[in-house]
Amino acid sequence: MAEELETFLLKSFFHDFGATPTEELIKKFPGAFLMVSFHKTPPMISHLRREEDFTLLVGGDDDADIDFMMDPTLEPEHCRIAWHPGFSGWTIEDLGTSFGTEVQGERLASARPVLLTDKDVIKVGGGLLQLQFYAAETLFGRMAKAGVTRTVTRLLARKAKKKKAEE
């Protein structure tokens, strides 16, 4: 399992890091991200470290790194995402589940890791849980393109101006 998995509410991540230059973000968060959406809950984002022993367990048990016990279609240990140095990328593996794991609409064969590619959509179990895989550079580029960087920079400038005026 991943130690100290960094997970943020997506809105908080954008607020906290939206004004940070891309080069600085890539240095702070090398690797990739999983955007996590679960049936009607605010989306989260988890940082996937580019380290040889990095693994992330997704399942319906509180021992999983990403756990959704309220989804009856998830096995306690449903799928595993890991950094694979030989492929120089992250792989995903279904752990022999009844409801399966799909990547880009294709169901994975049990115990056969598949290399993830940028922007892959992953459906876990019956579909209440959906993940999207992003390379760090792609996520930060999307933040900038969506105007998150500009908006957060303006917001922080206004707060600083207001604070200075109050002093």
**Domains of the chain, start order:** 7-166 (2.60.200.20)
- Tens digits of residue pLDDT in 46-102: 999 999 889 999 999 989 999 888 899 999 999 999 999 988 899 999 999 999 999
pLDDT of 148 > 70? The answer is: no
Q: Name the amino acid, one letter, at 70.
A: M
Site of tokens 């943020």: 8
- For 30-43, the pLDDT digits (tens) are 899 999 998 888 99
Q: What is the pTM of this model?
A: 0.82
Quick one: DSSP state of residue 64? S
Would you say residue 166 has pLDDT above 60? yes
Are the C-beta atoms of 93 and 80 separated by less than 8 Å? Answer: yes
| Three-state DSSP state, 104 | coil
pLDDT reported for residue 32: 95
For 161, the token pair is 């101006």
